[in-house]
Amino acid sequence: MDVPVDVPVDVVVWRAPGPASFPEAAARYAELRSSPLGAFEPAVAAFVRELRQTSPDPASPVSWDEALTVGVDAVIVHVVWPGQRQVLDLVALLASRHGLVCFEPARQAAMS
């Protein structure tokens, strides 16, 4: 399922191997959306630190701080910039570098 370019999407990043199926991933995503922020798992903390050193869109007033929902062991990245594919590719690259996997609920896609 393709998402129109102008619609913000979420991508969830968590420690590998991550949920084994779409229903498990969707349930974990719902849990993260409703849970309070918590302390970082070390790989997630390193991912967030490195992500914050980049700029999703230098022309945008929206920063990473406004686009991250951080849980104990996972991060939801709210991709709200026009260059969604580039941002998603960056998130996937950094997640992989830190041994994390990504889940994109709108496309029901897991990326590792």
Q: What is the per-residue pLDDT across 23-61, written as a single tens digit (0 to 9) for each?
A: 888 887 777 766 655 546 788 888 988 988 887 777 877
**Ramachandran sector of residue 72 (left: φ over 0; alpha: ψ -120 to 50; beta: rest):** alpha
Higher pLDDT, residue 21 or 8: 21
Higher pLDDT, residue 4 or 105: 105
Q: SS3 string of 45-111? A: HHHHHHHHCCCCCCCCCCCHHHHEEECCCEEEEEECCCCHHHHHHHHHHHHHHCCEEEEEHHHCEEE
Contact between 43 and 99 under an 8 Å Cβ cutoff? The reply is yes
pTM of the full predicted structure? 0.68
Q: Indicate whether 94 pLDDT > 90.
A: yes
The domain segmentation of the chain, as residue ranges, is: 9-111
Give the pLDDT of residue 97: 92
Three-state SS at 10: strand
Q: Kindly give, in sequence order, each residue whose CB lies less than 8 Å from that of residue 56, ignoring residues fewer than 6 positions away.
A: 62, 63, 64, 67, 79, 81, 83, 87, 90
